Structure 1
Amino acid sequence: MIGVLEAIGSWVIGFLEFWGRWFLLSVKAVLLAFKKPIRFKRYIYYLASIGADSLPVIAITSFFTGGVIALETYTAFHRFNAEYMIGAVVAISMARELAPVLSALLVTARSGSAMAAEIGTMKVTEQIDALEMMAVNPIKYLITPRLYTSVIAVTVLTLISDIVGYIGGYVVSVYLFHVNKTLYLRYTQNLAEMNDVYHGLIKAAVFGFLIATISCLYGYYTKGGAKGVGESTTKAVVTSSIAILIFDYLITYILRLFNL
């Protein structure tokens, strides 16, 4: 019994310690963006690294996701002669849920792991200590640019994912199942709303924030040499992915609460 209580207490302390560190690092990273010097080149570099380099894999994933939605819904809608409503289902599903979540998970796997590994390597090789010796704030230099560019990149990638996913659904519906394209587009316009897009973009911005802060946090507190870098990278990807799914539910619930 005592061992169980010790295990629970240890887990609670570790949980609170992690989120306490996360909160402090996040606040510092956000506020330090407004302190000079502002290194715009680093922002541009990370925007290209996180955003532009992730575009091909997200575009491919989104195209086939939209196509799969059309394939799965066609059978049910065909029974009611309502195939032309597939477009609305694809558009709303991608905009509100699939585009932000898939984009965030792919960025986590690709860029979040890279953030944790790079910063973790700098930590164990004492490069972060060297930055401090040169009077360079490591949070401002390493984490702040990644934080802001991740929010922007995931938001833009989600918007692109919406468009590409809808195109995937259109191609499958119109060219494979020969759905009337005029009705397909008209019912999409009638049923899908801009609120659906805003819903997904809000999620995307939050997900981008979570990816950058959690990944950088694990990298920043890495210990134990090369093995520690590997463990931090794995934990960063797993924790970020779980956080994305949990916050996906919370954001959806809050937006539903306010009828958004």
Structure 2
Amino acid sequence: MNLFDKLDSEFLREVGDISRFTGRFFREASKPKQEWEEFINQCYWIGYKTLTLVGITAFIMGLVLTIQSRPTLVEFGAVSLLPSMVSVSLVREIAPVITALICAGKIGSGIGAELGSMRVTEQIDAMEVSGTNPFKYLVVTRVMASMLMVPLLSCLAIAISLYGGYLGVNIRGNVSWHLYWFQAYGALNYGDFIPSLVKTFFFGFAIGIVGCYKGYNSQKGTEGVGRSATTAVIVASLIVFILDLIAVQITDILGLT
């Protein structure tokens, strides 16, 4: 077997393992008696603890996008379109995708490292021996929390980045508060908000599943924990881009763009 065949077989095996892991998630999530206390705890760690990083990034993102776009619009005499252009760009693509990438880096690596440490120190095995369902307690709660928190963080990122855009517009110009928001919201419709919000649920699901899968199946001691955290970030980020590409194609087919 040559190198390419080996890589193909490993890739297919990984896809199959993640598929089975995902199927098990849906089976466990559909069973009664959810771990609500742990779910709320994960919402706090995944959502609230990531809010500061997302907020700062979103503010800088809106500010920089506005400042960088202004010279080009000035050349064409279309500087009045700056609030509209910035709002559409941020709502449709930039804010949701950047937020998902931040969550993939922070949440994905955190979940991978946490569950990986529990696996190599045999804490998960101890939970199984004691009669607890570790998959439902550790995996289902984290994936569901990711599915809820990533869309909320994306909405907050959109709002904060639009405010950063307002400051960016007024660095070189003089646009009133009411005029900026009138132009920003006037350029948007439900076809911009709904696809942007829906795809963030899939982003959160992918980040949670990949992080939990890598950590839950971690091996080879502390080296495996580090590898789980690293590969969780890489794979989750790649899936975010793939899902975004699929979402763009679907919205284009449905005529929502």
TM-score category by the smaller chain? over 0.9
Q: Work out whether residues 87 and 185 of structure 2, in 8 Å CA contact, stay in contact via their aligned partners in 1.
A: no
**In structure 2, the residue corresponding to 1:135 is in which secondary structure?**
coil
Q: Work out whether residues 116 and 215 of structure 1, in 8 Å CA contact, stay in contact via their aligned partners in 2.
A: yes
Instruction: Work out the CA distance in 2 between the residues paired with 1:45 and 1:182.
Output: 39
One-letter amino acid matched to 1:203: K
Aligned pair 1:61/2:57, yes or no? yes
Q: Work out whether residues 42 and 141 of structure 2, in 8 Å CA contact, stay in contact via their aligned partners in 1.
A: yes
Aligned counterpart in structure 2 of residue 153 of structure 1, from 149, 156, 162: 149
Give the TM-score normalised by the residue count of structure 2.
0.94
Instruction: Work out the CA distance in 2 between the residues paired with 1:30 and 1:47.
Output: 19
Aligned pair 1:126/2:118, yes or no? no
Which residue does the alignment assign to 1:241? 237
Cα RMSD for the two superposed structures: 1.5
Please list, as runs of the form range in 1=range in 2, the aligned pairs for 1:141-180 lying within 5 A after superposition. Answer: 141-179=137-175
Deviations 1:24-70 (A, max 9, x none): 11122133123233221111000010011111111111111111111
One-letter amino acid matched to 2:81: M
Q: Work out whether residues 112 and 236 of structure 1, in 8 Å CA contact, stay in contact via their aligned partners in 2.
A: yes
Aligned pair 1:216/2:212, yes or no? yes
Tell me, which stretches of 5 or more residues in structure 2 are unaligned? Answer: none
Instruction: Work out the CA distance in 2 between the residues paired with 1:63 and 1:31.
Output: 40
My pick for the range that moved more, 61-70 or 178-187, is: 178-187
Which residue does the alignment assign to 1:192? 188
One-letter amino acid matched to 1:49: W
Aligned counterpart in structure 2 of residue 71 of structure 1, from 67, 76, 79: 67
One-letter amino acid matched to 1:130: A
**In structure 2, the residue corresponding to 1:111 is in which secondary structure?**
helix
Aligned pair 1:137/2:95, yes or no? no
Q: Work out whether residues 88 and 188 of structure 1, in 8 Å CA contact, stay in contact via their aligned partners in 2.
A: yes
Percent identity for Structure 1 against Structure 2: 30
**In structure 1, the residue corresponding to 2:2 is in which secondary structure?**
helix
Tell me, which stretches of 5 or more residues in structure 1 are unaligned? Answer: none
Deviations 1:168-202 (A, max 9, x none): 00111035422355543333233211221212112
